[in-house]
A and B are shown apart, each in its own frame.
Chain A
Amino acid sequence: MIWWLEAVLVGALGGLVGVQVVLRRLSFFTMALTHATFPGVVAAAILGLNIYLGGAAAGLIVAGAVAVLSRRRGQNTAAVTGVLLSGGFALGVGLVATQDGFGIDLSEFLVGSILTVTGRDVATTAVVLALSAMVLTVLARPLLFTGFDPAAARAAGVNARAVDLTLLVTIELVVVTIVPAVGTVQALALLVAPAAAARLWTDRLALLTPLSMGFGVVSGAAGLAVSTRWNIAAGAAITLSATAILLVSLAATRTRAVRAAPSRQGSPVRQAAASPG
């Protein structure tokens, strides 16, 4: 029953870090990370090294390259991310094709294999969960500051670049941990859907994180239940559970959005902003 533990842990981890991914619009970057770590994983397996280390190293290169290349005039982050995503993935695929009877199955990488997780994988997930919770707690204030007003944060003496880099490395660590269990595409789902759903329910950061983690845990457990009951790939079932929660949230908060709209217009902040001087 070890995979139940893994599903719950992975869901909590996705929900926790996903809040930052959704608030800072890092979905595409996360997608690129999931694909671009692939050559690292393959190369590490060919060389007989730890595959987590290989994936992490490749992810660091990608994160650095996106940061450097998108600063170039005329290039934009979206395009650079796309270039690295396709290049990295093609490299990984090419590497796999050169090997005979290779231990890492490409489809497994895409779809994940939560039913083959070992105690060591669960322990790794738990450690990464604790680590990211710690980092996000320590950095909560600077993250909030740089996220909403980077210029003011810099002026106030916050090292914005260090904060951003720490966040990217944390996301990368989470991606490298989650992908072997649920697969690349589903890792993206766990990092975006629960947080996006939670964001519909609340504007308060303090509520956002626990809610998002809760949605992640429920998605993981419900998905696994569906998967075993109807013989569907586990990663797909987890993704669809997360999507279902999001759709229900969209429907349920529809009235909330309508009700909130007029009162927001009348809020003192809005009025102050509307009348200059």
Chain B
Amino acid sequence: MLRALTELLLLAAICGPVSVFVFARRLSFVADALTHTVFPGVVIGFLFGGASGVFLGALAAGLLTAIGLTLLDRLPSDAATAVLLTSMFAVGVALVSRRTSYTSDLTAFLFGRILTVTMSQIVETAVLGVIVLASLAIGGRAFLFRTFDPAGAAAAGYRVARLDLWLNVIVALVVVAAVRAVGTVLVVALLVVPAAAARLVTARVIPMIVVATALTAGAGYLGLWLSWTASVDHGMRVTSASAVVLLLVAAYLVLLPLPSKGRRRDLVA
């Protein structure tokens, strides 16, 4: 229980800041795609290296996706994302479907096993988290510049394509860090919902990061507690991942009636 909470709080600290950039650069679909494209990596990694191969496989698949998105520039960007998502996921499904009873593997991939998260997984998450936050701190200003004024950023000497690839790689690392413990359903939610909810409270970047992180941590704690009490005290089966996601979405809906923040000109749009 304590380990599950530690993992969720770690993820809150990582996903809060990253989600703000995902929001500003409109990368929700890319984040969603990455959670699917790491699947074949997970499968192949498991076939070759057992449990320890999973991590490397997912990492390779995540990086491959980030590069693939840059290469498929002849298609409309959303179509390219969709094609990568579906084809790589299909490779994973095709591989597991050759075994009998593959459906339980799929379910584990969807929901992860947050309650049985191991100490080594927490360490993995923490290490990747430090890398992610460090690269975000280094690239943050450039990402913001590129988001709000691509032409200006290019004129100022930034390589826009390289910045985009860098951010995609950061998102890929987050997905890899989180997916085995908490499953795909929760990862997408953690990368999309917190910033969208935080944007309802403030239009400034740093406060958005703080609010997004706090919301995620709160929903993580409350979600775990809810699913725990519901299943232990009331005999109801509540998946902890769904509980966390639904709480986050509930927070978003509660914040919706707030008056719009930010002047029309300087939106984190």
Contacts and interface: CB of A to CB of B under 8 A. Distances in A.
Interface residues of B, number: 64
Interface string A68-79: 010011111011
A91 interface: yes
A185 interface: yes
A243 B261 contact: no
B26 A240 contact: no
A232 B97 contact: yes
* Residue among B93, B203, B241 having the largest count of chain A Cβ atoms under 10 Å: B93
Given A74-B203, A90-B245, A196-B76, A28 B83 contact: no
A89 to B, nearest CB: 6
Interface stretch (A44-52, A105-113, A124-132, A153-161): A105-113
Residue among B29, B78, B81, B249 having the largest count of chain A Cβ atoms under 10 Å: B78
Given A74-B267, A97-B238, A196-B79, A86 B260 contact: no
What's the dominant secondary structure at chain B's contact region? helix
B193 A86 contact: yes
Contacts of A76: 23, 26, 269
A78 B239 CA distance: 26
A74 B200 contact: yes
B114 interface: no
A9 interface: no
B154 interface: no
Given A74-B267, A83-B196, A87-B249, A28 B97 contact: no
B103 interface: yes
Contacts, number: 200
Interface string A3-29: 000000000000000000010011110
Interface stretch (A54-62, A163-171, A187-195, A209-217): A187-195
B242 A240 contact: no
Contacts of B195: 79
A133 interface: no
Interface in B74-104: 74-76, 78-79, 81-83, 85-87, 89-91, 93-94, 97-98, 102-103
Given A25-B78, A188-B85, A235-B93, 11 more contacts: A31-B29, A69-B256, A79-B199, A85-B188, A86-B249, A87-B249, A93-B239, A94-B243, A185-B90, A200-B74, A239-B86
24 contacts: A25-B76, A27-B29, A28-B28, A31-B85, A69-B256, A72-B260, A73-B260, A73-B267, A75-B196, A82-B32, A82-B188, A82-B193, A87-B193, A108-B103, A110-B106, A188-B82, A189-B82, A189-B90, A193-B86, A196-B76, A196-B83, A232-B94, A235-B93, A240-B87
Interface of B: 23, 26-29, 31-32, 36, 72, 74-76, 78-79, 81-83, 85-87, 89-91, 93-94, 97-98, 102-103, 106-107, 110-111, 185, 188-189, 191-193, 195-196, 199-200, 203, 236-239, 241-243, 245-246, 248-249, 252, 256, 260-262, 264, 267-269
